[in-house]
Amino acid sequence: MQTKIFILFILFATVGTAQGNLQFNQVVKVNNATQTVPVGKIWKVESYMQAYTSISEFTEYPTCNFQDRQHPFLINGKPYYQINGSPGHGSSGIFMAVGNLFPLWLKPGETVQTTCPDNFLSIIEFNVVP
């Protein structure tokens, strides 16, 4: 019985120390230049700011010419829209769903960028401390 308890104790102690703690490092501002989360870092995407948007209808990207349309940001090359409204679809046929809210967490090696140069993502970078 004591051997089983000792083994369980060792297992829990090992699992408990396998994760690291997060330590604030810096604030990162990302625009349309692809940036990669560095090794040993974790990024917390806090917000997405888009210039010139006045209506909530979506359009296909990568055009920034329609300044009255929402533009996606890219995570690992896939488009994501900031959605706060009701489910529906835009005139371009892109379907939306409620629930794309911040924060987003990105692990090392993941990439992020906006699709237009005037838009940006506000990110907090953390060091992973053992």
Write the pLDDT tens digit of every residue in 66-75: 655 678 899 9
18, containing H or E segment: helix 2-18
Query: pTM for the full model?
Result: 0.68
Predicted confidence band at 20 (pLDDT cuts at 50, 70, 90)? Answer: confident
Tokens of 112: 């992020």
Residue 57: exposed, middle, or buried by beta-carbon count in 10 A (0-12, 13-18, 19+)? middle
Structure confidence at residue 56 (pLDDT): 47
Q: Which CATH architecture has domain 20-129?
A: Sandwich (2.60)
Measured CA distances, 57 to 5, 43, 45, 91, 122 (Å): 60, 29, 23, 7, 23
- Tracing tokens 């308890």 back to the chain, one arrives at 5
Report how far Cα 2 is from the mean position of its chain's Cα atoms.
Answer: 46
pLDDT at residue 71 in the model:
80
Burial readout 71-85 (b: 16 or more C-beta within 10 A, e: otherwise): bbbbbeeeeebbbee
- Domains in the chain: boundaries: 20-129
Q: Is the pLDDT of residue 21 over 80?
A: yes
